[in-house]
A and B are shown apart, each in its own frame.
Chain A
């Protein structure tokens, strides 16, 4: 049984319809990429999963329906959603932001998890008291990722993690995501405009266009797919 399954999900913002029937699944232990151009509905899909839009259709996570509930509900069931813009608390310190990752009441003590996170991002330990707003873009992204990890999520959802970051930082970030998946079996659903790196790290991918799934398959297949190559990979 897949960890996450979407069935014919439609979503709208007020009168504007953004998703017109999206169906996808994520199995445990996978890294799945969600690709597409701007406005295709990638971010909306993640937001629908987190009940941040008006949704119709079925969203099943770990055997339970989670559609039309609330972001807190999804988070408490083990979905860590790192949104566009990272969703940090700008006036809180680095350490306080990290602490907030543990308040969702999930299993695992904070101290232990924080140690784990510091192993991946050693600089966090050195800059505990710095306000999060003063971090660089890359550091903010890493902190957001670290905070998500502290809660020991069952599913990690990343929304455009590469946005606004230098290519080396992006590589570093995705390398860490890959390590997390391979070493700890973390399931990841990543939304990306940067299709190249997303397809390198993921095992399967979906391409959204105008609110519907246009292409789906393994990442290898998509990397060879002519349409995908021309539109999203640039060759």
Chain B
């Protein structure tokens, strides 16, 4: 691969980093405030309300939301670099999760996990070069259909290679629970949350502090300008797809233990992740992560405390929320307004 063969350079300028951290902290504080307020409301309206139960739901929601966030980030990554809405992102994740499943029959969890990420990376890059590259310049609808074709093909392929029976998937986290400040949290949920967020943070660090990350950000900003300074844009796009595939693989492997592994593992999660990405702003990585977490918590709370929604109408409820946000703020929470230049 024609990537500069030097070690990534570390570049630290304090200003913007500090600013991002402060914004992040502010956001978290704001979110906590909103949740506390909501809890206060619920103490009035719900008969069987307990703060520890509420907190539990929030943590569950965060854990699930972390999975949405990972896949949403993958979607945004691809959208920003190649302007493509990758409908096959979920199926790519499922496929790599199946590969992990096979690997785990021959080696222990974490080595299999790592190897799967490598395979996912190569696979994602390969798909970009082979399937997407030829249709890059075609109208949007053509590319949409191509990714849908990919979705259908991968879904069938998973079922064909590994047979469509539901399988159990190992989790590296123990089954037990722990108690923090009176709130019972399962290790599984905590583990998922930590792994997903760690992946996201690592990716952020990659983009922020390494030369390669800078080049990719430049390509997302302007492909033409990148070419003029000598960047091999094609390889950067493949790299973007590779990284997105890695994110998807993490999401899949984190979701599989509780959702069980079959070819349709990620179909519904993909829709939630799409919603999260658009909610956060389809061109904003932060938005994807925030959107995922918000959506996870929101549907958990709505599902638990609003009888009308219950367990069945969670997905439509999430989509209604999304639609309302989009109507008020079409660019999503963190996205940029599209200026129409005449």
Q: Roughly how many angstroms separate A70 CA and B222 CA in the complex, as a whole number?
A: 16
Within 8 A of B (CB), among A3-55: 50
Partner of B222, one of A72, A89, A104: A89
User: Is the beta-carbon distance between B230 and A151 smaller than 8 angstroms?
Assistant: yes
User: Is the beta-carbon distance between A129 and B225 smaller than 8 angstroms?
Assistant: no
Per-position 1/0 for B194-234, Cβ under 8 A of A: 00000000000000000100110110011011111111110
Q: Tell me the smallest distance from the CB of A86 to a CB of chain B, in Å.
A: 9
Asked whether B15 is an interface residue with its Cβ less than 8 Å from the other chain, the reply is yes
User: Is the beta-carbon distance between A151 and B221 smaller than 8 angstroms?
Assistant: no
Partner of B15, one of A100, A101, A105, A129: A129
Partner of A96, one of B15, B214, B222: B214
Partner of B229, one of A93, A103, A128, A129: A103
Main secondary structure of the interface of B (DSSP, over half): helix
Within 8 A of B (CB), among A86-105: 87-93, 95-96, 99-101, 103-105
Asked whether B47 is an interface residue with its Cβ less than 8 Å from the other chain, the reply is no
Asked whether B13 is an interface residue with its Cβ less than 8 Å from the other chain, the reply is yes
User: Is the beta-carbon distance between B230 and A106 smaller than 8 angstroms?
Assistant: yes
Residue of A nearest to B233 (CB): A72
Partner of B227, one of A72, A101, A128: A72
* Chain A residues whose CB sits within 8 angstroms of the CB of B211 once the complex forms: 99, 103
Q: Roughly how many angstroms separate A103 CA and B218 CA in the complex, as a whole number?
A: 11
User: Is the beta-carbon distance between B230 and A83 smaller than 8 angstroms?
Assistant: no
User: Is the beta-carbon distance between A103 and B221 smaller than 8 angstroms?
Assistant: no
Partner of A103, one of B13, B16, B215, B224: B215
Per-position 1/0 for A56-89, Cβ under 8 A of B: 0000000000000011100110000101000111
Interface residues of A toward B: which range? 20 to 34
Asked whether A212 is an interface residue with its Cβ less than 8 Å from the other chain, the reply is no
Given contacts A93-B16, A99-B211, A129-B13, contact A50 B221 (CB under 8 A): no
Q: Tell me the smallest distance from the CB of B8 to a CB of chain A, in Å.
A: 12
Asked whether B176 is an interface residue with its Cβ less than 8 Å from the other chain, the reply is no
Q: Tell me the smallest distance from the CB of B70 to a CB of chain A, in Å.
A: 24
Q: Roughly how many angstroms separate A128 CA and B211 CA in the complex, as a whole number?
A: 16
Instruction: Please count how many residues in chain B sit with their CB below 8 Å of the partner chain's CB atoms.
Output: 22
Q: Tell me the smallest distance from the CB of B17 to a CB of chain A, in Å.
A: 10
Asked whether B139 is an interface residue with its Cβ less than 8 Å from the other chain, the reply is no
Q: Roughly how many angstroms separate A93 CA and B4 CA in the complex, as a whole number?
A: 22
User: Is the beta-carbon distance between B225 and A103 smaller than 8 angstroms?
Assistant: no
* Chain A residues whose CB sits within 8 angstroms of the CB of B214 once the complex forms: 92, 96, 99-100, 103
Q: Roughly how many angstroms separate A71 CA and B224 CA in the complex, as a whole number?
A: 8
User: Is the beta-carbon distance between B230 and A103 smaller than 8 angstroms?
Assistant: yes
Asked whether A147 is an interface residue with its Cβ less than 8 Å from the other chain, the reply is yes
Q: Roughly how many angstroms separate A180 CA and B15 CA in the complex, as a whole number?
A: 33
Given contacts A89-B222, A105-B4, contact A100 B13 (CB under 8 A): no
* Chain B residues whose CB sits within 8 angstroms of the CB of A70 once the complex forms: 227
Q: Tell me the smallest distance from the CB of A150 to a CB of chain B, in Å.
A: 9
Q: Tell me the smallest distance from the CB of A94 to a CB of chain B, in Å.
A: 11
* Chain A residues whose CB sits within 8 angstroms of the CB of B222 once the complex forms: 87, 89-90
User: Is the beta-carbon distance between B217 and A92 smaller than 8 angstroms?
Assistant: yes
Q: Roughly how many angstroms separate A101 CA and B230 CA in the complex, as a whole number?
A: 8
Most buried by A among B13, B217, B218: B218
Residue of A nearest to B223 (CB): A71
User: Is the beta-carbon distance between B227 and A100 smaller than 8 angstroms?
Assistant: no
Within 8 A of A (CB), among B11-49: 11, 13, 15-16
User: Is the beta-carbon distance between A75 and B230 smaller than 8 angstroms?
Assistant: yes
User: Is the beta-carbon distance between A72 and B230 smaller than 8 angstroms?
Assistant: yes
User: Is the beta-carbon distance between B224 and A87 smaller than 8 angstroms?
Assistant: yes
Q: Tell me the smallest distance from the CB of B88 to a CB of chain A, in Å.
A: 28
Q: Roughly how many angstroms separate A90 CA and B221 CA in the complex, as a whole number?
A: 7
User: Is the beta-carbon distance between B228 and A103 smaller than 8 angstroms?
Assistant: no
User: Is the beta-carbon distance between A91 and B221 smaller than 8 angstroms?
Assistant: yes
User: Is the beta-carbon distance between A75 and B218 smaller than 8 angstroms?
Assistant: no
* Chain B residues whose CB sits within 8 angstroms of the CB of A76 once the complex forms: 230
Given contacts A128-B13, A129-B16, contact A104 B221 (CB under 8 A): no
Q: Roughly how many angstroms separate A161 CA and B52 CA in the complex, as a whole number?
A: 65
Per-position 1/0 for A206-225, Cβ under 8 A of B: 00000000000000000000
* Chain A residues whose CB sits within 8 angstroms of the CB of B11 once the complex forms: 99
Q: Roughly how many angstroms separate A99 CA and B217 CA in the complex, as a whole number?
A: 12
Q: Which 5 pairs across A and B sit closest by C-beta, in order of nearness? A: A104-B230, A75-B230, A71-B227, A87-B225, A89-B221
Query: 18 A–B contact pairs at CB < 8 A?
Result: A75-B229, A75-B230, A76-B230, A89-B217, A89-B221, A89-B226, A90-B221, A92-B217, A92-B218, A92-B221, A96-B214, A96-B218, A100-B218, A100-B226, A103-B214, A103-B231, A106-B230, A129-B13
